[in-house]
Chains A and B, each alone.
Chain A
């Protein structure tokens, strides 16, 4: 899949004087770079280099373009358009970006794309193929374990990975095991009930 986030290059869209001028009025306050200027700047100061890489996501190989500093989350969201994993613009605390790497629940924002090479990456999108839904998804809906839904895909993946490891988890294990994700709307009660129901069925 092509990198969708790469804008077409060389579009003469800006007049340098505007850029320098700045302005209070929204109408006039913007400016952009011209292609020549941009190429020159790239020569003067190399901030980063980009490289091609193959990642295995949801069972398929994808060629992506990354810089050393590009995270797996950025690649998933903006190059592969797998936007189920969310970016809360914070680091390693919230779990909205949870994916499975070789079966382990992992915050995709804490992994560099380069580090994910050669691994099996699974995102929330893999838990639904058309009408065929993972039991975790169905059970989240049944227990209304969502409100705004922004944290929900991360929680669904975390729950799937947790139940894969602990198919007969107890209430206490669920409370500890799903502590890596945050929900602001307060859907923990539904998530707990859903996980408990699935654990009583052997993790489904």
Chain B
């Protein structure tokens, strides 16, 4: 028997893996043929709408849904559990009743007809005001963690900066709102087309509250219109949709309206920080003494991992969560990291300015503080940062362009540079798959995963095409239903490793079986066989075509299962990453223009270069959004999210992004690491990099993100 090990091919032997491959579902997406949960349209589908609370904190005094029954077209009402009279409202947008009707407008009429009275309670929605939170009893007990001797290190320091920093709450703003289309194809059997990043994990979330077996629930999601961490759950409105469908005997669709989507569909929590940082005369950071706070909504959580990446040896970290009546947070692409980075790398940048150092040099001087000395991967990462900084600096011409703070004017614009560092785990998620080889040589794959936008189908097709030496188009990829072998949710950059590992393992096992059959039939040594370009070769001699080889498995074909992750080197975790921004600020209007923005990213083994670059570009644009414009604005008086619409909640448009430069850091040492997830890392350090660039341009720091024109003008107006 030949010795066989699971691995990726040697890098130079890859034909498609790591190249630029068009996504195999690209035409579906670009032509509107791709069906999202909102697009499921069987005859007789009803429309459901929600009555949600206009108050942030209240008790329901009375609720009368009967008047809705007089509205033409209204079919059915559903009262959310816990929202009967006496029930508590903890945030604006809390769902109370769902109404299903023949048309959307009739459902709206039904909602308007409901009679409800609230006892309005004293809400608290202030995220920044820690003193007010203490006064109102809304602050959770402070947690403190301490290392070394902070007091002595600050006393001995050659330079210190003390300041306030912050980053506001943002929403996920998935363009396809949360929701589902539900129908009951047979008694007791639910088919839910759910907009979800968790196809395999959601059937039970329907089954339990509906009182049916999870085996009787199929969750289907061929395409999802954005999730970013907010769509792991069936959600109580998903259950409402299924219940309305069961009761009316009709299919029902229920998707959140935009305002409700923004209020309850998930947010990334805020973070604010009072800090003193210290360094010696060489710019070596010696101490961090910080207190950070923020809110995740009614449960009063706050962010962690501050300080971030660069961890001073002497440090005191105090953390306070605030209980608010703001909409609850959900995991948002790289949970904690963008905030932690924005609250750390801005402080380091200010310390560099205080020491009249180029921040590039200060970051470089402190790379020995990355992670911990005891962690091998942290130590490895220090070298990656140094190498990536060098690459990024070249692409940006950092050393050529760098001037101190407030020293670079061109025309009537103020220019500046900023940089920041990030890290992410990105370990492969759990998953299973089935790979089927048909006697004609075509290959089919099945797994209960989903395509969040990463290009999951294409990654699977590339993996199998490379394994069998066939074109990407010869692989039929089936995903997006809970009927297939279970896979983990798509979150935390776990998907590409999570699907390529199992498919490679299953593919190799199938290939080896076929090689054994070929070896027996053609009297060659199985250990010499490879599958390349539609042929099976022994050394460089053709033995047979791929279909001839596949035919040997017999009329039933061959079916192999794969699973992962395993410790066989196909996947890995931990990446670094560097981003640098060049901005121009108009001091008259306060508008910040992105001139050039560079991202250098290590990602281990690359599956699809085109999709990888897209991921990074998309993440950079999201960074521009939260750095410059997007912000949830809560009104203290009414307790309401006052810019909960796409017009007032500002996202960048196509003209707002400037020149984007992506560089994959990929020496052979990266290829041999195995696949590491890429979704999160590039969305982390852009906020801090852009804030640092604006501070460099203006000559002073705007303490909180986003850097709206108003904040720019306010900061400039302070002498």
Contacts and interface: CB of A to CB of B under 8 A. Distances in A.
B654 A128 contact: no
Nearest to B453: A147
Nearest to B249: A13
Contacts of B43: 4-5
Nearest to B208: A26
Given A41-B72, A133-B31, A150 B226 contact: yes
Contacts of A82: 32
Contact of B452 (A7, A26, A74, A148): A148
A199 interface: no
Nearest to A13: B249
B644 to A, nearest CB: 10
Given A41-B72, A47-B109, A189-B617, A8 B29 contact: no
A47 B175 contact: no
A188 B621 contact: yes
Nearest to A191: B654
Contacts of B715: none
A116 interface: no
A47 B106 contact: yes
A24 B77 CA distance: 12
A153 B256 contact: no
B240 A26 contact: yes
Interface stretch (B34-42, B417-425, B511-519, B546-554): B34-42
A22 B31 contact: no
Of A5, A38, A81, A185, most buried by chain B (CB within 10 Å of CB) is A185
A88 B174 CA distance: 9
A166 interface: no
B38 A141 contact: no
B215 interface: no
A189 B225 contact: no
Of B26, B239, B620, most buried by chain A (CB within 10 Å of CB) is B26
A152 B176 CA distance: 12
B225 A186 contact: no
B220 to A, nearest CB: 15
B454 interface: yes
Contacts of B81: 24-26, 29
B651 A184 contact: yes
A186 B679 CA distance: 13
A183 B81 CA distance: 35
A24 B87 CA distance: 10
Interface string A171-204: 0001110110111111111111000000000000
Interface in B208-223: 209-211, 223
B659 to A, nearest CB: 9
Interface in B603-652: 610-611, 613-615, 617-622, 625, 645-647, 651-652
A106 B100 CA distance: 30
Interface string A1-27: 000111110010110100110111111
B436 interface: no
A190 B78 contact: no
B162 to A, nearest CB: 36
A95 to B, nearest CB: 10
A32 B248 contact: yes
Contacts of B33: 84, 125, 128
Given A5-B103, A14-B76, A178-B654, A141 B258 contact: no
B657 A188 contact: yes
Nearest to B39: A83
Contacts of B63: 22
Given A125-B32, A156-B31, A90 B77 contact: no
25 contacts: A4-B41, A13-B248, A22-B77, A26-B81, A26-B239, A30-B243, A32-B248, A33-B74, A33-B76, A48-B105, A78-B41, A82-B32, A86-B176, A88-B258, A88-B646, A128-B31, A137-B31, A148-B224, A150-B36, A175-B654, A179-B655, A184-B651, A186-B622, A188-B657, A189-B621
Interface of B: 22-23, 25-36, 38-39, 41-47, 63, 65-66, 69-82, 84, 100, 102-106, 109, 173-177, 209-211, 223-228, 239-240, 243-244, 246-250, 255-259, 261, 452-455, 610-611, 613-615, 617-622, 625, 645-647, 651-655, 657, 660
Given A127-B31, A136-B30, A178-B655, 7 more contacts: A6-B44, A30-B243, A85-B32, A89-B257, A144-B26, A185-B226, A188-B652
